[in-house]
Every structure is written in structure tokens, then in C-alpha cells.
Amino acid sequence: MSKKSVQTIDDIARLAKVSKSTVSRALNNSPLIRQETKERIWAIAREHKFRINAPARNLSLRQSRTIAFVIPDMQSCTPCPDSQFGLELLGGAADGLRALDYDLLIVHIQQRDSDWMYSYFDSGRVDGFVLMTEGREQSHIKKLIDLKAPFITWGVPLPNYSYCTVTGDNFTGGMLATDHLLQIGRQTIAFLGGPMLDMSVQQRLKGYQSALRAAGRSIDPELIRHGDDYTYGSGMTAMQRLLEKRPDVDAVFANSDLMALGALKAAKDQGKRVPDDIAVVGYDDVLIAAYNTLPLTTIRQNISMAGKLLAQNLVQYIQTGVVTNVTMPVELVIRESA
């Protein structure tokens, strides 16, 4: 084979008697390739004055330096005006990727589409995925693991699987919110949760129950309500139904700030004064929580930092293969609603 005929990675692979993927990884100095193999491939490339075509190399190695932020077609997870949490998490991820010289691609998937990841990963369009996910997307996580596609999720990791995650300390958050309501003398404290199957909701519920038990209170199932998602409308509906059954409620712990704001509206529509008649605590501390007409007491998660960690830890995994599971601390922020 003449020097002029060596124009592609395939040509080097034939000369080196290795696979195309081995050549690609060697030219990129991958730690997965033995040093002596890399040196042999480098020597062939130098001898034949082979110049790597960067776009072609990136496609071959799935190194587009682009990460997909995956948005399921569900109101609870879609970054939109009714999901401030999603917008703030997306912003943090974008900042984190920009600092690492990566681009961010927003990928909107349909709920019933179970094969969306193939068109993005197999084609080399993205190097990995950031998912806002809970128990409802277990099949997506399992498929990404089978595909060996790098990904990281916001949410509690599924048991018996090894993959990167960032989540908040949901149990402590549930305890902090409930204990605060107990400390200010509330007697009938309700829990307005997000979807019942979400593991973060389950952990917050355990924190709520633990705080009540520690105070010598019993757990009243009538005071535990779940919405279909974490939106304003979900919180308003759950609060309306709660007040129909239990007009004696004098405090509510809602699983998102938007749910809490919806609960505030429902309480006021029923002639209740907040916080005099009903104290309300939210969760997340999105920007609107502080700037609402009645500023919201809430459990703060550092959402921007969570987004940056999602970006940083995914890129770290792509480069090193190290799986990280990060639990971020939470804190109580006291404002006028409680």
C-alpha cells in the first residue's frame, strides 16, 4: 500500500492488522488501548503522513463534544414556564458544559418512543445524555445501559444498576419541612406529593413520616395526597380535594414550589388565610418562590449547582469510566408562607 493510498482509518487498520475502532481509540490516546499498540499505530500514521479529519474522527469515536439534555413529553419534566425547576436545571447543565467546551443539545422525546437513544448515540450526534427521570423511565435507563451509552440522571438511582446520578437529600428535606411546621405549632400537617411512584417523592414522604413519629404524632393517611406531576395545577387540585375531606388542615408540605403556590391559591379560594390558617412549605427554592406575592418557605436545592454537577460528572464518566452517585444537601429557607 503506497503512502498516498493511506487516507482513512480503515487503511491504517489494515496495515496495523487491528480493528477500525482500535485505530480510532489509539489516535485519540484512549487509555483502553495498550501503549505498545498505540505507538505502533502512531508510527504508521506518521510514516504515511496521515492527517486526522476531525469531524470524521469525532463521528467514529462518538466524540461530537455534544451532550443531549433529554426532555420527556410529560408536563412534570418538561422545562417550560410551568416547570421552573427544569429550566434552572437546564441552565446549570448548559453552564457546566460550556466550561468544559461541550455543546448542549435539547432532545424532546415522545413518551411512547422507546428507541430514541439509538438515532442520537449510534450516529455519533452526541457523546452522552442527561436525563430528568424517575421510576417512570426505567426502560430508558435499562436500554441506555444495554447500549453502553454514557448518561447521567437527576433523581434517585434505581437499585441493582450502576450509572451516574445526582439527586437531593430527599429524606432530610422531608424531615426539615415537617419539623419546621411542627416547631411553629401546627397540629394537622398534610403532605402533597408528586407522583407516587417517584422515588424522590417516596423518600420525602418517609422524611415527613419520620418527623411526625419523632414528635409523637400518628400518621393519618387522609393527610397524604399525590398529584400527577409537580405543577401549579396539580398542587391546586390536590389542595382542593384535601380541604374537601379535611377542612381542619393547618399546614401543608408540598413537593415542589409550584405545587405549593397552587396550594396557596386553593386555600385562599376557600377563604383560608396563609399563613394564619394554613402554613405552606414548598420544595426546590426556584426563583419564583422568593418573588411571589407571598414569599414561600421552602426546602432549597441548589438547582444551578445540580445542573453543573450533571454536566461535569457525565463528562468525567465519558473520559474515565468512573461512576458517581452524588446526593446534594438541602436546607430550609423560611419566608412568609410559614
Residue 51, C-beta contacts closer than 8 angstroms, at least 6 positions apart: none
- Please give the tally of structural domains in the chain: 3
Average pLDDT, the chain: 87
Based on the fold, state whether residues 14 and 103 are members of the same structural domain.
no
Residue 178 lies in a domain: yes
Give the pLDDT confidence score for residue 34 in this predicted structure.
86
Based on the fold, state whether residues 163 and 175 are members of the same structural domain.
no
Give the pLDDT confidence score for residue 81 in this predicted structure.
40
Based on the fold, state whether residues 156 and 176 are members of the same structural domain.
no
Each residue's pLDDT tens digit, 268-306: 999 999 999 999 999 999 999 999 999 999 999 999 999
Q: How confident is the model at residue 137 (pLDDT cuts 50, 70, 90)?
A: low
The separation between CA 95 and the C-alpha centre of its own chain, rounded to angstroms, equals 15
- Say which CATH number the domain at 243 has: 3.40.50.2300
Residue 222 lies in a domain: yes
Residue 334 lies in a domain: no
Residue 335 lies in a domain: no
Based on the fold, state whether residues 234 and 324 are members of the same structural domain.
no
Q: How confident is the model at residue 26 (pLDDT cuts 50, 70, 90)?
A: confident
Based on the fold, state whether residues 51 and 140 are members of the same structural domain.
no
Q: Enter the DSSP assignment of 195.
A: -
CA distances from residue 151 to 69, 142, 156, 163, 297 in whole angstroms, order as listed: 10, 11, 14, 7, 34
Per the model's pLDDT, the better-predicted residue between 63 and 171 turns out to be 171
Does residue 110 register a pLDDT over 90? no
Does residue 43 register a pLDDT over 90? no
Residue 338 lies in a domain: no
Question: 180: which 3 cell numbers?
Answer: 419546621
Residue 336 lies in a domain: no
Residue 92 identity: G
Based on the fold, state whether residues 133 and 193 are members of the same structural domain.
no
Domain with 323, as residue range(s), is 66-168+303-329
Residue 337 lies in a domain: no
Residue 162 identity: S
Residue 291 lies in a domain: yes
Based on the fold, state whether residues 91 and 177 are members of the same structural domain.
no
- Say which CATH number the domain at 12 has: 1.10.260.40
Which of 36, 60, 84 is the last residue in one of the domains? 60
pTM of the predicted protein model? 0.78
Based on the fold, state whether residues 98 and 195 are members of the same structural domain.
no
Average pLDDT, stretch 98-123?
A: 83
